[in-house]
Chains A and B, each alone.
Chain A
Amino acid sequence: MRADADEAREDSAGREIAAAHPVLGLQRTIGNRAVARLLAGRVLQRDLKGDHKIRNGTFTLDLETQKNKGAKSGLRGTIKFKPNDAAPDSTRIRLYQALRFEDLATGKDYVWTGTYEGRTKSQTVADPMRPGLEPGWGIDFDPTTAKPRTKLADPAVSPYYRSWWPNAASSQDGSKKGKAISEASLWDYPGWDRNMRFSFETVARADDTGFVYGTIAWGFTISDAANGIVDHEYASGRNVTTQTTDEALKRFDEYMRNPGASTAPTT
């Protein structure tokens, strides 16, 4: 509802701009797509803020658009999950996220190289036997500091966001015992100076029991990096993970040679 109201306001703003500046209306008529988007309100950028209720609790987004003409643009802020009273208890509720990063210049998934190549190596791949499985999704981790296991005794590598980026001043792990509830959160800042599409699914999970409380799918597009245009922001809560996110987690475990993976060291 909020999005519809915003768009109505944007369309209204576009009409007012066109009325005040007839040359813009003319530009739109002759096919200037940038002006058409401007007047359609498509470049009026929207922060991703607000609550998204799911069966087991509420995701709260507080992500602000960072518009930086000629520099790097994106979204910056926190994602929180608070379980409701009826949700299962947990001593530690944590968040992880799967993501896809598409290069609009090539129309393909961005290929990570060098110290970042672990991201591409651990992504999902298309499978004709699983039509709902999307390629190019991977767990959000830092491949430059990641150390896949080499010995049986090595501890498992964590997929949880805060195991890589604790950002302890602005995020925390959560918990729930009856009505004593503490929210789980993460702080994030994706963005770039190229035209890219960012897609995420953030998952709230009980680390002690493995119970998945739910997820929030969110994302945005840098459609005109030179002018700092960030648009097509979206967010939507879900009660269960997608099969693509599940596969991304499996691929992460395989890449990290975690216990239970086919690649896990045996000695």
Chain B
Amino acid sequence: MADAQALRRALDDPDEQVRSEAAVGLAELGDTQALDALIRTIDDAPDPLHLDVTPSVRALGAYGPEAIPRLLDLLDAPEELTRLHAQRALELAVYRRHGFVAGQGFPTAEAEEAARDELGAGGYDYEAEPSSRRSAIQRLRARLGVDGPPAD
């Protein structure tokens, strides 16, 4: 099993693949710094066939409720790709709550519709103007039960 301290050091590696693997490794170890590491590497090493998906996007989608407020904050990040990655991770987290399994899809059409409703279909657009984005994020916070202002 990889040493957590070595993985933390690897988060500063110049190679994005190494950084992303280190963050995912920390998450697999249940390390206390894992969530920070995944957020920090959310843009690293995207799949060339799906640039909206990175190893940290997948791990954040499976991380659990603790990741949701952090992802909501990132939906208003300055970088468009970061916003897209945060959106995908948040979607994955919600899909999983409705029974989504990779390679199987949703168990029913109703389950997919419920996931779409929870995310507020069409409500958030990572390419939208900041004011429109922020309104959508506020609605998402309410819908997902995450109160309070964004973290600093």
Question: Residues of A with Cβ closer than 8 Å to B?
Answer: 72, 74, 76, 99, 101, 115-116, 140-142, 144-147, 155, 157-158, 160, 162-169, 173, 188-192, 196, 256
Contacts of B122 in A (CB 8 A): 169
Q: Once the chains bind, are B103 and A190 in contact (CB under 8 Å)?
A: no
Find A190's partner among B50, B91, B109, B124 (CB 8 Å cutoff): B50
In Å, the complex CA distance between A165 and B102 comes to 8
Given contacts A158-B105, A169-B121, 11 further A-B contacts (CB under 8 A): A72-B46, A142-B53, A145-B102, A155-B104, A165-B50, A166-B100, A168-B121, A169-B124, A173-B109, A189-B51, A192-B48
Given A189-B52, A190-B51, A192-B48, the answer on whether A168 and B116 have CB atoms closer than 8 Å is yes
In Å, the complex CA distance between A160 and B102 comes to 11
Is B25 at the interface (CB under 8 A from chain A)? no
Is B95 at the interface (CB under 8 A from chain A)? yes
Q: Once the chains bind, are B115 and A190 in contact (CB under 8 Å)?
A: no
Is B112 at the interface (CB under 8 A from chain A)? yes
B95-113 contacts to A (CB < 8 Å): 95, 100, 102-106, 109, 112
Chain A-chain B contacts (Cβ-Cβ < 8 Å), number: 78
Contacts of A164 in B (CB 8 A): 102-103
Is B49 at the interface (CB under 8 A from chain A)? yes
Find A101's partner among B46, B48, B102, B104 (CB 8 Å cutoff): B48
| Closest residue on chain A to residue B51 by CB atoms | A189
Given A72-B46, A144-B58, the answer on whether A165 and B53 have CB atoms closer than 8 Å is yes
Contacts of A157 in B (CB 8 A): 103-104
In Å, the complex CA distance between A173 and B49 comes to 21
Q: Once the chains bind, are B49 and A140 in contact (CB under 8 Å)?
A: yes
In Å, the complex CA distance between A99 and B58 comes to 22
Q: List 6 A-B contacts (CB under 8 A).
A: A101-B48, A142-B50, A146-B102, A166-B105, A169-B91, A169-B121
Q: Once the chains bind, are B119 and A168 in contact (CB under 8 Å)?
A: yes
In Å, the complex CA distance between A256 and B102 comes to 13
Q: Once the chains bind, are B51 and A166 in contact (CB under 8 Å)?
A: no
Q: Once the chains bind, are B105 and A160 in contact (CB under 8 Å)?
A: yes
